[in-house]
Amino acid sequence: MEQLEVMAEHYKMLSDKSRLTILACLKEREMCVCDLVEILQSTQPNVSQHLRKLKAAGLVTETRKGQWVYYALNVSDKPYLEETLNYLPSFKEKVLQVKGIC
């Protein structure tokens, strides 16, 4: 039953369009909050809140590089999510267009 609860919590994280978009972007490469703000056309606090939830659920990891924090997808140990994320539309073009302000 515990595994079902974990899976249900992971799928809850996918029920939000912004979080799905973040995960789709992170499929392409690791990114910082400012890059995601640009893609989502949202505020930094809003994107940070979504990233906090995704990190708490174990779906993303963060790495500090200088003064910036970069986020990366963390689903290699969750094959059921990897399969689901394969159905997301590609955000490769949008990710490549990000100015990389960070």
Look up the CATH number of the domain holding residue 44.
1.10.10.10
Q: State how many domains the chain has.
A: 1
pLDDT classification of 18: cutoffs 50, 70, 90 = very high
Side chain identity, residue 6: V
Q: Which residues, including other chains, have CB under 8 Å from residue 99's CB and lie 6 or more apart?
A: 38
Is there a domain that residue 97 lies in? no
Is 14 within a domain?
Answer: yes
Instruction: Decide if 64 is inside a domain.
Output: yes
**How many C-alpha atoms does 93 have within 13 Å on its Cβ side?**
2
Please compute the mean of the pLDDT values over residues 43-51 and round it to a whole number.
97
Over residues 48-67, mean pLDDT: 95
Q: Is the pLDDT of residue 100 over 70?
A: no
In a domain, 49, yes or no: yes
In a domain, 98, yes or no: no
**The predicted structure's pLDDT at residue 78:** 92
Give domain status of residue 101, yes or no.
no
Count of helix runs (H) and strand runs (E) in the chain: 6, 3
pTM (whole model) above 0.85 = yes
Which of 62, 5, 2 has the alpha carbon at shortest distance from 33? 62
Residue range(s) defining the domain that contains residue 35: 2-92
Q: To the nearest whole number, what is the mean pLDDT of the chain?
A: 91
